[in-house]
Amino acid sequence: MKRTSLVQTQFLSAQDVASVVTQTGVAATLHGIADYIFDDYLRWEDFDKCARLAAHSKDGVIELMPVADAKTYAFKYVNGHPKNHRLGLPTVMAFGVLADVNTGIPELLSELTLTTALRTAAMSAVAARALARPNSTSMALIGNGAQSEFQALAFHHLLGIQEIRLFDTDRAATEKLMRNLKHTGLRLIVCENIAQAVRGADIVTTVTADKANATILTPDLIEPGMHINGVGGDCPGKTELHADVLRGAAVFVEYEPQTRIEGDLQQLPADFPVTELWQVLSAQAPGRTGNAQVTVFDSVGFALEDYSALRYMRDSARRLGMGLPVSLIPELADPKDLFSLIRPLTASHEELDVTGFTDFKELALCL
């Protein structure tokens, strides 16, 4: 008896996920992922969490990010290689898996390069809904690379941001963003420098790629009431905010043990106070406490967001009939007979059904 359905893995390619997004619509996708993230953050304590496992090299990092609840295990493979664009390659590439905790079967294998950009933007918007001033309408967007359009659209659709003030050292990146978001209704303003972009903005999003202790935002640029969505400082030795920007703000993080290592927070002593975002979302800790307060979401990207995004993509792909089964795990008629996979000469005996025999002597006669 062939058990053809037990161990199949559903595969979502980069094209499949792109197709899920275009069929669903970007706004609806961002809303959907944000809802899944929000739901999962509300049950934060159900999850077995750890800081991601990073392998650092001269020009980049490769990370594994696992997380699990009692039912579902998820992990993401993701790299960060800021110089990749010189080779025509994305800086960040990713894929991930959802597996059944009770059996270990990898049920879904999905691209996560596109999905990571979507989930990071959705996460930023979920945080900003809790931390930015209500009625924020303008955002500075420093860094106009691969993730920038997703950030712009998430803040547009989930927070009502109408104006985006753009800056990137690479003018071509800014032009690419303007082409991509031409028909979205967003007012896009190209700025000459960081200070010009930041001035008067309600929210400042930094999403730069250099693996360096950069200082994209200095204290003199920060205005009362601003919310800073710091996305690009996410690796040891890769920061964006001057330490005094953090010192002058209320700082919120995803998973504190990981952010202490990877976030802009790495610049501050271990006892610098921060609040985990799940506590704010579940009303166990205050978010913004006043209109003049400066808030920082020191985002590094946490495995739970990929768990949420993978669930969203799995559910959406099912609904739309996308994806294909792949044979990642062998199908075995007898689970203890792995050797059957490489036993071609006697395969015919198997097909004649020897499974019923329990007496070896009888079997020996039979063969």
In the window 171-190, what residues touch a copy of itself (CB under 8 A)?
Answer: 171-180, 182-183, 190
Q: Given candidates 27, 31, 35, 62, which one binds a copy of itself under the rule CB under 8 A?
A: 62
158 is a site residue for a copy of itself (CB under 8 A): no
Which residue's CB is nearer to a copy of itself, number 231 or number 281?
231
Task: Give yes or no for residue 151 binding a copy of itself (CB under 8 A).
Answer: no
- DSSP code for 205: E
| Residue 77 engages a copy of itself in binding (rule: CB under 8 A) | yes
Residue 298 in contact with residue 124, Cβ under 8 Å?
no
Asked whether 274 and 249 are in contact (CB, 8 A), the reply is no
Task: Return the SS3 of 28.
Answer: helix
Q: How far is the CB of 291 from a copy of itself (least distance, A)?
A: 34
Stretch that binds a copy of itself, among 8-16, 211-219, 232-240, 307-315 (CB under 8 A): 8-16
Helix H or strand E encompassing 365: helix 360-366
Q: Rule CB under 8 A: which of 307-366 touch a copy of itself?
A: 326-332, 334-346, 349, 354, 357-358, 360, 363
Would you say 18 or 285 has its CB closer to a copy of itself?
18
Active site residue 100: no
- Please, which residues have CB within 8 angstroms of residue 111's CB and are 6 or more apart in sequence? 12, 13, 14, 16, 17, 94, 95
Nearer to a copy of itself by C-beta: 22 or 284? Answer: 22
What is the separation of C-alpha 247 from the centre of its chain, rounded to a whole number of angstroms?
27
Indicate whether 81 belongs to the interface with a copy of itself (CB under 8 A): yes
Is residue 124 involved in binding a copy of itself (CB under 8 A)? no
Pick out residues in 196-215 that bind a copy of itself (CB under 8 A). Answer: none
Catalytic option among 202, 234, 264, 306: 234
138 binds a copy of itself (CB under 8 A): no
Q: Please enumerate in sequence order all residues whose Cβ is within 8 A of that of 258, keeping only pairs 6 or more positions apart, or say none.
A: 51, 52, 300, 302
Listed ranges 61-69, 125-133, 225-233, 261-269: which one lies at the site for a copy of itself (CB under 8 A): 61-69
Q: Which stretch binds a copy of itself (CB under 8 A): 20-28, 260-268, 272-280, 311-319?
A: 20-28
Query: Taking CB under 8 A as the rule, does residue 28 contact a copy of itself?
Result: no
Q: Which CB sits closer to a copy of itself, 118 or 251? A: 118
Tokens of 195: 């200070």
Nearer to a copy of itself, 106 or 263 (CB): 106
On whether the CB atoms of residues 139 and 197 are closer than 8 A, the answer is no
Block residue for tokens 């979502």: 12
Compute the distance between CA of residue 297 and CA of residue 155 in angstroms, rounded to an integer: 14
Shortest spacing between CB 42 and a copy of itself, in angstroms? 21
Contact 141, 152 (CB under 8 A): yes
Contacting a copy of itself within 248-307 (CB under 8 A): none
Decide: is 32 part of the binding site for a copy of itself (CB under 8 A): no
How many residues of this chain interact with a copy of itself, rule: CB under 8 A?
97
* Residue 155 touching a copy of itself (CB under 8 A): no
Does 59 help bind a copy of itself (rule: CB under 8 A)? yes
Distance CA 75, CA 233 (A): 21
DSSP E strands in the chain: the ranges are 9-12, 53-56, 61-68, 72-80, 94-100, 106-111, 138-142, 163-167, 187-190, 203-206, 213-217, 227-230, 239-241, 250-253, 275-276, 295-298, 324-326
Of 175 and 210, nearer to a copy of itself (C-beta) is: 175
- Residue 293 contacts by C-beta under 8 Å, 6 or more apart in sequence? 224, 225, 249, 250
Q: How far apart are CA 302 and CA 120, in angstroms?
A: 9
Residues noted as catalytic: 234
